[in-house]
């Protein structure tokens, strides 16, 4: 049974216990991504968000890159902790979605609209966040467990080389997903009345 939009927002959580199975076909994952990219808004209709979907061996390549990069940059004890998290959670999934922003579009908007030049990088990040949230919520509503990771910028150059992506693409986030094998952690929510002001 499909949830209402509000129910889907309520149930969206970070799942770290996932496996490589999927309750839906890859084509349905692709359909979700395509629909989100098609209908998620962006400032000035820039449509600067770019998505890469990694499945199977391509997914494992990503997490091998992350581990190699961390091993070269961190202490032995720090790496052991990070490796355990990656091997026991993130790399266990069915796939990973990479979110990028095309800076060529951002820079062109800055040139075309100099009055708002400082804002376009911020607006691009906001657009990426909306894409992340839309895809995350839709995947979870389809029965997948999802989380959002940020190993950028230390993996950016190798990711661009490995999948031969345009140099103008800036990596924003990594979203591993798979069939949930456990419940998400409890989430504390502050009193929303402290976060909202209403004037009539």
Tell me whether residue 1 is in a domain.
no
Q: Do 62 and 54 touch, CB atoms closer than 8 A? A: yes
Tell me whether residue 77 is in a domain.
yes
Tell me whether residue 198 is in a domain.
no
Torsion of CA 42, 29, 61, 132, to 10 degrees: 30
Poorest-pLDDT segment among 2-11, 23-32, 63-72, 74-83 = 2-11
Reading the block at residue 170, the tokens are 């800036």
Tell me whether residue 56 is in a domain.
yes
Reading the block at residue 3, the tokens are 């949830």
Tell me whether residue 192 is in a domain.
no
pLDDT at 1: 53
With CA atoms as reference, report the closest residue to 129 among 48, 31, 196: 48
Tell me whether residue 5 is in a domain.
no
Domain that holds residue 25: 13-179
Reading the block at residue 57, the tokens are 């061996």
Reading the block at residue 70, the tokens are 């961390």
Tell me whether residue 71 is in a domain.
yes
Reading the block at residue 171, the tokens are 């990596």
Q: Do 47 and 35 touch, CB atoms closer than 8 A? A: no
Local confidence band at 25 (pLDDT 50, 70, 90 cut-offs): very high
Average pLDDT, the chain: 96
56: alpha, beta or left? (left if phi > 0; alpha if psi -120 to 50): left
Name 51's bridge partners.
99
Q: Do 58 and 22 touch, CB atoms closer than 8 A? A: no
First to last CA, the chain: 38
Tell me whether residue 58 is in a domain.
yes
Residues 158-190 pLDDT 10s: 999 999 999 999 999 999 999 999 999 888 889
Looking at the structure of the chain, the number of domains it has is 1
CA 62, 17, 11 angle in degrees (round to 5)? 105
Residue 30 sits in a domain whose CATH number is 3.40.109.10
The Cα 135–Cα 151 span in angstroms is 19
């Amino acid at each position: 049974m499909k949830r209402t939009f509000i129910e889907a927002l309520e149930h969206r959580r970070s799942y770290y216990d996932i496996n490589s199975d999927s309750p839906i076909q890859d084509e349905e994952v692709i359909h979700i991504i395509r629909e989100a990219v098609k209908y998620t808004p962006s400032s000035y209709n820039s449509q600067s968000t770019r998505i890469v979907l990694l499945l199977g061996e391509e997914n494992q390549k990503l997490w091998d890159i992350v581990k190699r990069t961390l091993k070269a940059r961190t202490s032995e004890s720090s790496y052991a902790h990070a490796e355990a998290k990656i091997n026991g959670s993130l790399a266990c999934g069915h796939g990973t979605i990479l979110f990028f922003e095309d800076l060529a579009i951002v820079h062109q908007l800055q040139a075309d609209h100099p009055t708002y030049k400082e804002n376009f990088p911020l607006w691009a990040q906001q657009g990426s966040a909306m894409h992340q949230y839309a895809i995350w919520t839709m995947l979870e509503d389809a029965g997948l467990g999802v989380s959002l990771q940020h190993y950028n910028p230390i993996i950016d150059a190798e990711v661009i080389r490995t999948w031969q992506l345009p140099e103008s693409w800036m990596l924003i986030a990594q979203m591993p997903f798979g069939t949930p094998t456990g419940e998400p952690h409890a989430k504390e929510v502050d009193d929303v009345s402290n976060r909202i002001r209403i004037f009539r």
